[in-house]
Amino acid sequence: MTGPQPAGRPWTREEDHQLRSMLDAGTKAGLIARELKRSLGAIYARAKEVRKIAKTEKAVERIQASTNRVNP
What pLDDT is attached to residue 4?
42
The closest of 69, 22, 20 to 48, measured between CA atoms, is: 20
What pLDDT is attached to residue 44?
94
d(Cα 37, Cα 47) in Å, to the nearest integer?
15
pLDDT in tens, the chain (72 residues): 454 445 688 999 999 999 999 999 999 999 999 999 999 999 999 999 988 888 888 888 888 888 876 555
Domain boundaries, the chain: 13-70
- Outline where 25-39 has alpha helix (H): 29-36
Confirm if 13 and 47 have CB atoms less than 8 A apart: no
d(Cα 61, Cα 9) in Å, to the nearest integer?
31
What pLDDT is attached to residue 64?
83
